[in-house]
């Protein structure tokens, strides 16, 4: 079944989804992210990397200043903003593509939106900060609603899921209803099943296999398999190839966006996968 087309409203523009898979380039300005922590702590280096990802084919840049790797601990709003603000200030007006900020804190979201950010990617699925939905509504921001079980500190202790797809679909549907009651328009939402984020290896593989089930929610779908531990690779080359395979599977499963670290390489993967996806029935 071909992907449904959507018009995603984000601040002052609309993004067409469904004609091709959009690439969301990851920019972590953290010291401890699971694959590239510390690489882009320097604001000038982070800005240069964002511009390079746009040149390589990224359709959005997703900037994160707090790690959500397994066992990571929360950072204060002050520390998160100290990492984030210099990068957003340098990037303002330099990118033709939208910037998303990966945060669950309404205070961070508000400050980021004041600096021209158009999308908030909440890793907690609008569950940690009840004020975030109100902030999104005030700024007419786009939002990516990511599914998370527990917290990074508790993931290792969580029980397994008998039916991960049903659990994630049910939780995301509840989140969508809560967001709409808070005034967030459905046309501003994208959902993400949260590969990793409290799921075990085989549960992530099953979620990818069953991505078509999320069409029932009638909201655009993003997936982020890039460099995740469930890919079970130890070498950089192995991880890149495994990511390419997972990205392909996600596209053939109907996602509208993929969140990736290696934009240039995944742009090639997306080109081939999209050509195949158009013929799926």
Which helix (H) or strand (E) segment holds residue 257: the answer is: strand 257-260
Return d(Cα 69, Cα 153) in angstroms, integer: 9
Domain CATH code at residue 179: 3.20.20.20
Alpha helices in the chain (DSSP H): 43-56, 77-91, 106-114, 132-139, 164-181, 201-209, 236-252, 263-277
Closest to 195 in 3D by CA, of 157, 222, 166 = 222
| pLDDT number for residue 32 | 56
Return d(Cα 83, Cα 67) in angstroms, integer: 12
| pLDDT number for residue 154 | 83
Whether 18 is covered by a domain: the verdict is yes
Count: domains in the chain: 1
Neighbours of 245 (CB within 10 A): 13
Whether 138 is covered by a domain: the verdict is yes
Structure tokens given for 238: 């192995």
Among the listed residues 3, 9, 105, 228, the single catalytic one is 228
Structure tokens given for 204: 């992530």
Beta bridge pairs of residue 99:
61
| pLDDT number for residue 174 | 95
Closest to 270 in 3D by CA, of 31, 86, 58 = 58
Whether 1 is covered by a domain: the verdict is no
Structure tokens given for 18: 């469904």
Whether 54 is covered by a domain: the verdict is yes
Would residue 157 show up in a list of annotated catalytic residues for this protein?
Answer: no
Whether 264 is covered by a domain: the verdict is yes
Return d(Cα 269, Cα 20) in angstroms, integer: 12
Give the pLDDT confidence of 124-181 residue by residue, as tens digits: 999 999 999 999 999 999 999 999 998 888 878 889 999 999 999 999 999 999 999 9
Give the pLDDT confidence of 104-114 residue by residue, as tens digits: 999 999 999 99
Q: What is the mean pLDDT of each successive set of 10 residues along the chain, which is 281 residues long? A: 91 96 96 62 93 98 88 85 96 97 97 98 94 96 95 84 96 95 96 95 96 97 96 95 98 98 98 96 78
Whether 88 is covered by a domain: the verdict is yes
What mean pLDDT, rounded, does the chain reach? 94
Q: Calculate what percentage of the chain has a pLDDT beyond 90.
A: 86
Asked if 251 and 258 count as a contact pair (C-beta separation under 8 A), the reply is yes
Return d(Cα 13, Cα 174) in angstroms, integer: 27
Q: Are strands 142-146 and 119-122 parallel, antiparallel or unpaired?
A: parallel
HEC secondary structure over 141-203: CEEEEECCCCCCCCHHHCCCCCCHHHHHHHHHHHHHHHHHHCCCCHHHEEEECCCCCCCCHHH
Whether 55 is covered by a domain: the verdict is yes
Among the listed residues 82, 188, 259, 278, the single catalytic one is 259
| pLDDT number for residue 31 | 81
| pLDDT number for residue 38 | 63
Neighbours of 57 (CB within 10 A): 17
Whether 248 is covered by a domain: the verdict is yes
**Domain boundaries, position 140:** 6-277
Would residue 228 show up in a list of annotated catalytic residues for this protein?
Answer: yes
């Amino acid at each position: 079944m071909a992907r449904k087309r959507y018009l995603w409203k984000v601040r002052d523009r609309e993004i067409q989804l469904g004609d091709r898979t959009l690439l969301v380039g990851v920019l972590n300005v953290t010291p401890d992210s699971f694959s590239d922590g510390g690489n882009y702590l320097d604001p000038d280096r982070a800005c240069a990397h964002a511009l390079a990802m746009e040149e390589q084919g990224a359709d959005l840049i997703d900037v994160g200043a707090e790690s959500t790797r397994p066992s990571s601990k929360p950072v204060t709003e002050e520390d998160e903003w100290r990492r984030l603000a210099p990068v957003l200030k340098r990037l303002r007006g330099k990118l033709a593509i939208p910037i998303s900020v990966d945060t669950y804190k309404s205070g961070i979201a508000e400050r980021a939106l004041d600096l021209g950010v158009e999308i908030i990617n909440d890793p907690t699925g609008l569950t940690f900060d009840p004020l975030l939905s109100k902030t999104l509504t005030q700024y007419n921001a786009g939002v990516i609603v990511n599914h998370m079980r527990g917290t990074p500190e508790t993931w290792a202790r969580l029980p397994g899921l008998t039916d991960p797809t049903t659990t994630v679909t049910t939780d995301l549907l509840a989140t969508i209803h809560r967001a709409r009651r808070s005034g967030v328009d459905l046309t501003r939402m994208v959902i993400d099943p949260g590969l990793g984020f409290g799921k075990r290896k085989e549960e992530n593989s099953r979620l990818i296999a069953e991505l078509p089930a999320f069409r029932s929610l009638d909201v655009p779908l993003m997936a982020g398999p890039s460099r995740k531990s469930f890919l079970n690779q130890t070498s950089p080359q192995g991880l890149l190839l495994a990511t390419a395979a997972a990205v392909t599977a996600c596209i053939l499963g109907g996602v509208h966006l993929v969140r990736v670290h290696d934009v240039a390489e995944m742009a090639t993967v997306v080109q081939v996968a999209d050509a195949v996806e158009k013929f799926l029935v």
